[in-house]
Amino acid sequence: MRTINSILNSGFAVVSQFIILIFAFITRTVFIRILGSEYLGFDALFTNILSILSIVDLGLGTALNFSLYSPIRNNERQKVAAIVQYFKKIFCRLGVLLFILAFCITPFIGLFVKGSVNSIPYMQKVFVFYAFLTFSSYFFTDVRTVYYAHQQNYKVLMFDFSAKIFTKTLQVIILLIHPSYLWYLGIEIMITLFFNFRLMKKAHKEYSEFYTYPSELKEDERQTIFNDIKFLSLSKIANVGINGTDSIIISKFVGTAALGVYSNYFLILSSASNLLWSLLNGVVASLGDLFAENDSTKIHQIFNLYNFISVQVSTFYAVATICLIQPFIHMWIGENYVMSFTVVLVVIFNNYYGLVTAPLSNVIVTKGLFKQELPIRLLQVVINLVVSVVLAVNYGLLGVFVGTAVSNIISYFLIVYMVVKSGLNLKLTDYIFKEVKYIIISFLQIAAICLLNQMLAFQYGIISFILNMCMVIVSFLLLELLFYRKNAQMLVLVNIIKSQIGRYKGAK
């Protein structure tokens, strides 16, 4: 059942993300043509500000997810009900608190913008709309986590998929008929709320005992959860400092127009990485289930395979985006929206880092290594903020992303040591040797395909883009065969794929 759920979670996540990405491109194209890049800059800025406010949730979502693994595994229905009801009360109160905080800082939004803040009418109203859209989701977090902890997040993805498709379609219609930013956001709020209520109704029906069974957590259970939250809260603050401040620094030191141009790259690169994250994260709940079983042999087998897959996915992501992102932007919205290749390269490296370290990050969550992770994240946020701000003054966009890259590289070695020793109990030298080998091969693949891309010198245009994309895919697969044809993890992966194909044919 664990394997089936992992396949369903990963499969539906990838397919739905890909279709949503197509709709997002259509919506973004219409948005740029009608409202312009300045609005895109404010869109990215408001999202960053609200992500910083979200540190007030103290990592409760992760704490709830982690708290449910063991009782669900052991079929402790009463304890699950008590945990869900306890967190639901907290999430509802936080949703109200965060919206009030956002409303209070609305008059000071101009402090985060370089130059005039009058280029967009109703900027403060727009920020309030964003805040309501963001923090209303807190009233439904418990519902989503119940499905996720049961390894059924594909059910949540079905609702999210429907909501996104309806939203993007109606937003395009609104922009074409009545080009108003407020109406654009209003449509998203109404549809998101509608589908969230539908999801809540479904969860209350399927898991009614979790919401109707009168149950209270014991004092020691509350204390355990509180201890997890205590370290998660500081870790959440650190993560926001690492990943949630780039847009604010760009807006303040470079300008919202530059932020708008970057947001187009962010849409493509983050959508592609999120799609691949969905593929990788389909096994996270299953990994948490294995930790609950405490079967070290199975844990090591799953982790080694998971780690191998993440390296291959990360390598393909890096080489595909390096070769294709610039011609795609040029073809999509024009030369005026193309950024410096050096800046793009650093941004891609930061996303590559996030994908290649996904197994380590997920072991931290599923194993509950929040206390051990905290000092590393705090060090990383200090390095990121200091280096990004200092370099942004002289080097603009490049300086901001170099600061993030430097903090990622330094923290990587510390996280590896912590996870391997505390979370997996593996021999550190064996893991480092294997990881260094993977990364060297990864960079050789990227360098070889990029060199071939330069030699072929593809021109801008749809035909050239398709040929370039085919070259990347074929070259990557040939290099995979060259480097990994005898690799143990590759053989395991091939056997899994063959067995799933055999099951599918048998079912037909």
The answer for residues whose C-beta is within 8 angstroms of residue 420's C-beta and 6 or more apart is 426, 428, 431
Question: Chunked in runs of 10, what are the mean pLDDT values of the chain (508 residues)?
Answer: 57 75 85 77 73 59 69 78 81 85 81 61 79 84 77 80 91 89 88 91 83 71 70 66 76 79 85 74 54 66 84 93 91 86 93 88 77 84 90 90 92 88 78 90 94 82 88 93 88 74 58
Written as one letter, the residue type at 199 is: L
How many residues would you count in the chain? Answer: 508
Give the per-residue pLDDT at 502: 64
Angle at 163 between CA 160 and CA 169, to 5 degrees: 135
Give the per-residue pLDDT at 448: 94
Give the per-residue pLDDT at 214: 65
Report the largest interatomic distance among the alpha carbons of the chain, rounded to a whole angstrom: 69
Q: For residue range 148-204, what is the model confidence (pLDDT) as tens digits?
A: 777 777 788 888 889 989 999 999 999 999 888 888 888 989 998 999 899 888 888
Tell me, what DSSP letter sits at residue 111? G
Give the per-residue pLDDT at 292: 53
Give the per-residue pLDDT at 321: 94
CA dihedral 54, 55, 56, 62 (to 10 degrees): 90
**Among candidates 306, 438, 303, which has minimal Cα distance to 367?**
303
Structure tokens that stand for 458 in this block: 């593809």
Cα–chain-centroid distance for residue 164? 16
Give the per-residue pLDDT at 228: 65
The Cα–Cα gap between 343 and 377 comes to 24
Q: For residue range 278-296, what is the model confidence (pLDDT) as tens digits?
A: 666 655 545 555 555 566 7
Give the per-residue pLDDT at 258: 81
Structure tokens that stand for 470 in this block: 């085919």
Give the per-residue pLDDT at 289: 55
N- to C-terminal Cα distance for the chain? 20
